[in-house]
Structure 1
Amino acid sequence: MRREAFSKARGEGAGFKVYGRGSFRRRRRTVGAVLLALVLAGVLVAALGFSRGDEGIRRGVEIGGVDVGGMSKAEARQALEAGASQSLAQISFVNGSGGDAPDGGKVSAQSLGIALDDRKSVEKAYDVGRDGNFVERSVAAVRGSSTGVSIPAAVSYDRQAAEEIVSGFAGEVDQQPENASYEASGSGDLEVVDGEPGSELDVQKTLGNLDESLPKLDGEIPLATKSVQPEKSAENLQSMAPTKKLGEFETDYRYSDSEARKQNLRMSSGAVDGTVLEPGEVFSMNEHIAGLDYKKAKVFADGGETSALGGGLCQVTSTVYMAAQYAGLEIVERTPHYTTLPYIRPGFDATVWFGGQGIPELDMKFKNTTDSNVLIREYVTEKGILKAEIWGQPNGKEVTMRSEQDFKDTDRGIKWSTYKTVKKDGEVIREGLLHEDLYSYPPPEASDEGYNDVRVGGW
């Protein structure tokens, strides 16, 4: 009964023809053979179409984008030369990184020593569909009839000349990275601002792009660049961040009602404010305040008063000089004024002079002798006070300073001695005389000759 039921289920006795497994395999082989025959027939048809015009270049062949299919060798060379002379007459080195990066520039093919070997290029094109065995020729035939066959043009250039030309674009292309920096918030707290990577021209990769583009008769060459990381990272600044005020000093500028002097104070202190010194780095006052558009204001020259461009610079200098003293930093260079000043105690002053008029430069310099970065803050307040602060990491130093007048007479002038005591972790590591300064007495009459008198006084 089971056998009969199974037979009925397969359709036996119901008019159906039943095939075994062997029959299905034979049918699959037959279908496969037919499909293979069709494919081969298609290849042969394509090959026949591709090979029409047997004396010329196969149809569907191009050289560097120039269609030379069906042409004779002479015709192909002529077409290739025309295409190359149009595409490669001028080579443009363009932005290859996107964004706002600039282009490099344009140069002539002659300056790069570009040369097209049209004969060699055409011979390669002519060989398409002729070289190789039957299968290789058939594959080339199918490609030529469907998508086409592209042959790179045989193009050479002067590598040394190209390298020099590409290197010359660095000034236009290179973008300097921005170091991480400190920024003071409204409350006076310091925050680390991330830097930005820059980029610089990669000459060898750009020449590689030239190698790829010229055989395609492409006259636009992407400029390759590589990323340049900032020297100062946010992580580095964070670990070296100034967290404590090491020293401060302030002077009063309300004695002067000169608006020009106040502008000079704001301008020069602003040039100093925010300066970061790494361990071992030396701060130069002149490097920061020289070359600004100062106003003509009161200066102290030869012990008297006059007007000159930059009036107020010495007050800015003296104020930050004393902040550096109280921070326990090393003073590298300091020159006193010729006369005593109304805004600072004698012995605490420092003058600057940019040089000229036969007078050597006078600078004020100090060195970061700590193991962390230090930040210099200097600014004017609306209440008439100029403030300077030195920030760093705690160094355990405590500094006290004092100055005393030794004598004052018309023949010898006025002598002041300045003393400094430095404690580290409560222990005195330095104590005693710091320097002696001799100021003029009596002060001479004010002069109107300006710069000529500033030589011994300062701003």
Structure 2
Amino acid sequence: MKGRRLALAVCGGLMMIAAAAGSAQASEATITKGVSIEGVDVGGMTKSQAEAALEEKAQQLGQTKVTLMMGDNPVTTTLGELGYTWTNTDIVGKCLTLASSGNIVERYKEKKDIEKEPKAYTMTFCADNAKVQSFVESCSAYNSDPVEGSIQMGSDGIPYVEGGTDGLTLNVDKSVAAVENAISGWTGGDLKVDLVVDKKSPDVSAETLSKVKDVLGTATTDYSASTAARAVNVENGCRLISGTLVWPGDEFSVTRAVTPFAAENGYEQAPSYEENRVVDSYGGGICQVSTTLYNAVLKAELDVTARSNHTMIVNYVQPSKDAAIAEGIMDMAFVNNTDSPIYIYGYCYGGQITFTIYGHETRPSNRSIEFESKVTSQTDPQGIQLVADTSQNVGYINQVQSPHTGYTAELWKNIYVDGQLTDSVQVNSSTYQAVGTIYDVGVVSQSSAVTQAMYSAIASGDVSQVQNVIKYGTGAAQRQTNAQGQNGASGQTDAAQGQTNAQTQTDASGQSGTSQTDASGNAVISVQ
């Protein structure tokens, strides 16, 4: 009896399952509970219901933001605008077959397993090739040429890099493939795709210029006593040099940078040295620019390839620290012997000119240098030189050159390590000529006798004789003889008599000159 009851119970259970199955077959099939597609719970849904829910899901996903990166330029769109399409639509039919095969017991068991451990499926998508192609091609608007790098000085006194970026050209075909592959492999969230570009590097890259940040050397000189024209020339020369980049192994020439010396290049006429005297010329004062840069170059320990001292001493730097230039004759030049570019920055403010050289510092931090000027001899100026000026009338006498002491000098570099002097190296040697006072003397007169008398006075080298000709004309010789008879050699008229007190002006080297009056009492301003 007990075995019969058990058989009847089993038979009853199977009959109930069979009845349930028959009932399900009588209505439209639904997906087994516990099944989801792309996060949508489709359990219990019919095929049409599931497809509608998933189409809605696909439309929602079509609003997903897509960012295409063209170099550093982001271009945004959506999956929908790229023709986003759900491709594995047969997934719904496959889900309907779950727990639908095998005998009744097997189907029942599979349903229970799915309810216990839900099954999750994903939707797959693709983009419309034509729409992707069209949108990617529009990104060609961001094609660019390479931008050469440059260095600019910030308001904080620190150089910063501008430009130095690659030129970009969009590779359309490869970019379309990259976008389509990204969409097909997308798993959710905003989508970002790097477009494929062909790059062209600039000659001067930002990476290279980023090393130019250390002060290698700086120097300042004062030109505040200069004439207005000379100050213009100093500031113009500084402007023409400032902002220059010098690459490793390249040579920089001051003369090439600041010439031609002409009004068209921003220069005015100002005092400058010419054959041991001071004359007005375009660019007068430019040597102070080259000198200031020379001292900055020395401190940066760059390789100086050309440097000349002035013929006469200057007073804005110590002896042997100057660097004269003359187009086609003298230059100040150096080679960048470091491993990185150097940047020359110059400015003028408050009557001072400053050059600073920036680069990549590789010298040991415990090492320092200083430069010592040593005067090795001195020669005092001797005599007076009188020069006939055929453009001026008799009566004109003008001191065009003040006396300059002559020197020989040397410049030495002292090297210190941890504050201790370890070496001294001679940098250069210089010879500055001793030059006496020079006067220009007018010789033009309606009387040839007076002109001849003035030439004779000039040839004597005696200013008092020139003054006598100015005062007495052809009778100057007799008065000179009488004066000698009455007073002897010591009673001659002093060379300074008949002149006004000098007013100091600045010549090309910063030395003082004079102004005085001519025989008519009109002021004659020195060209110095």
TM-score (normalised: structure 2): 0.42
- Between Structure 1 and Structure 2, whose CA radius of gyration is higher? 2
State TM-score, norm by structure 1.
Answer: 0.48
Name which structure has the greater RCO, CA cutoff 8 Å, separation 6+.
1
